[in-house]
Amino acid sequence: MAPTPTYLKSLKKESVVQSVINRLTDAMRNKELKPGDKIPPEPELAESLGVARSSVREAIKILTYLGVLESKRSEGTFVCNGYTESMIDPMVYGIILNQDSFENLMELREMTEAGMMRLAIKHHTEDELLELEKQLEVMRDSVKDLEDPVKAFFDADETFHDQIALMGKNPMADKINRVVRSLTYAVRFETVSTMIKTDRSDELIDAHRQLLESIRNNDDDSLSKKVRGSYFEEELLDHH
């Protein structure tokens, strides 16, 4: 008789639903459960873990919401194959609800953007670098927009960073970075507005040029400092 898998051994009573979640996710990390595997039915899981079926049902519901498990009608519940965007959605709510300081948010932004830059330095192609150079030219031209130079520049800035994310070739990291960029949308737009309205667009463009040069030269020295330097936080605060 085959030994009982570790994740099916009886649980203690501490935070039962969380314990079921932990047991299942540990099994996935340990490869006892692999992508595409069918997990045991609720009654079997509940009996093996020594918990109520309602606890198992709730744990499965949470893992399904997080995109870790998927239920197929009449077939059962399976470990998802690969990454799904729904895995990141709860993170958005968590950041919004626990956003206790501007500085914490900016540190998170710096960490994710510097990480995307490092991925781009590691994985980019020459064609992708040429495309980033084109986006920098679009950014230079955007400040000449007679109708709304602020929006034109901001849109060009978004496309520039989208290109860096594409160069990194990591969809999950890109998704997390997009979440952080959406959370910082207002402050980023206000920074662009302040810099352009005070005739300092050249500084904005130069900051982006330095990011491009870091990728071109495979240079990640002082990368966090360069990324942070492109935020112009002091100037924004002084303007207020």
What is the structure's pLDDT at 85?
62
- Residue 136, token pair as written in the block: 């920098």
Q: What is the CATH number of the domain that holds 30?
A: 1.10.10.10
* Structural domain of 28: 6-86
The total domain count for the chain is 2
Report which residue type is found at 215: I
Q: What is the pLDDT of residue 220?
A: 83
Say whether pTM exceeds 0.95.
no
Is 180 in contact with 222 (CB distance < 8 Å)? no
The last residue of one of the domains, among 20, 54, 86, is 86
Are residues 17 and 94 located together in one domain of the fold? no
Task: Please tell me whether residues 93 and 207 are part of one structural domain.
Answer: yes
Flag whether 42 is in a domain: yes
Residues 205 and 233 in one domain: yes
Q: Where are the beta strands (DSSP E) in 27-91?
A: 69-72, 76-79
- Taking only the tens of pLDDT, the chain with its 240 residues reads 667 777 666 655 557 888 898 889 888 888 899 989 999 999 999 999 999 998 899 889 888 877 889 988 889 999 988 766 666 666 666 666 666 667 888 888 899 999 999 999 999 999 999 999 999 999 999 998 888 999 999 999 999 999 999 999 998 899 888 888 887 888 888 899 999 999 999 999 999 999 999 999 998 888 888 888 888 865 544 544
In this structure, are 107 and 67 located in the same domain? Answer: no
User: Within this chain, do residues 181 and 230 fall inside the same structural domain, yes or no?
Assistant: yes
Here the contacts of 92-98 (C-beta below 8 Å, separation 24 or greater) are: 92/179, 92/182, 92/183, 95/179, 95/180, 95/183, 96/183
Asked if residue 114 belongs to a domain, the reply is yes
- Shared domain for 65 and 108, answered yes or no, is no
Looking at residue 96, its pLDDT comes to: 62
Q: What pLDDT was estimated at residue 170?
A: 95
Q: What is the pLDDT of residues 44-55, one digit of tens each?
A: 999 999 999 988
39 burial level (CB within 10 Å; 0-12, 13-18, 19+): buried
CATH, residue 203: 1.20.120.530
Reduced to 3 states (helix: H, G, I; strand: E, B; else coil), residue 49 is: helix
Q: Same structural domain for residues 79 and 41? A: yes
Q: Do 231 and 123 sit in the same domain of this protein?
A: yes
Q: Which of 86, 107, 136 is the last residue of a domain?
A: 86
Whether 1 maps to a domain, the answer reads: no
